[in-house]
Structure 1
């Protein structure tokens, strides 16, 4: 694979990561109050979080298959965390968005690292078995 191809795939991965944030979480605007109990939940529903995690796992696996996991994990982590933090900072009056951003950063870094390394390992095993 040429350097230009790797660069384009890396850029596509970053764009797809930000796109995953936007598609699953970026349009959410607020919290939900249960009228019977008064319990507040949100801003994201469970299905949104599951959807974005599965999408990011798929992107990390594809990225780890074709690119170095040491490129995939930081690129996806920075892209997703920046998108999440920019939105959270613009809608939060308490300053707690920064705590959330650290948690998103750590979780995204851990998840993308594990998944992209597993994909790279699977690719190597596949190459050895066929060759």
Structure 2
């Protein structure tokens, strides 16, 4: 059961979770599409820097933990996974190699596993809140 909240409040919570999950990708990495070339070695890297991915992952952890403390895991995990993967795929699908689909599967699997772990860790917080509200 989600909670004793109204269905509209629950729906709003799910929509906000989806927007926040996709927003993690858009805020940290979607805007960076340029590759960096080392002038000495000629090695190409990117388009994302390590700090961008770290910020994106940490933000997604916070979003998932907060949602996991308020909504059931079975709602949080697919919402975070689908929203984040869709945001990632929207920018990656412009890849001319065609490998973006493989990347999308890997992003979806990683996001699913991470969201399940984080949301699962937040369940005791939800239980404690329910006891306080009762």
Please, what TM-score do these two structures have when normalized by structure 2? 0.90
SS at match of 1:66: coil
- Structure 1 residues 129 and 16: CA distance shift in structure 2, 3 A: closer
TM-aligned CA distance change 1:5 to 1:129, over 3 Å: closer
- For residue 81 of structure 2, give the secondary structure of its aligned residue in structure 1: helix
* Aligned match for 2:93, one of 89, 93, 102: 89
In structure 1, how many angstroms separate the alpha carbons of the residues matched to 2:89 and 2:17? 19
- Please point out which of 62, 68, 76 is paired with 2:66: 62
Select which of 119, 122, 128 maps to 1:119. 122
* Aligned residue among 7, 15, 37 for 1:3: 7
User: Given the alignment of the two structures, is residue 105 of structure 1 paired with residue 93 of structure 2, yes or no?
Assistant: no
Partners of 1:117 and 1:2 lie apart in 2 by: 23
User: Secondary structure of the residue that 1:50 maps to in structure 2?
Assistant: helix
| Structure 2 unaligned spans of 5+ | none
User: Of the candidates 31, 38, 51, which is equivalent to residue 34 of structure 1?
Assistant: 38
Q: 1:77 aligns with which of 81, 84, 100?
A: 81
TM-score (norm 1): 0.92
Deviations along 1:73-112, one digit per CA (max 9) or x if unpaired, are 101100110111121012x111011111111000100001
**Counterpart of 2:77 in 1: which secondary structure?**
helix
Unaligned runs of 5+ in 1: none
Aligned residues between the structures: 130
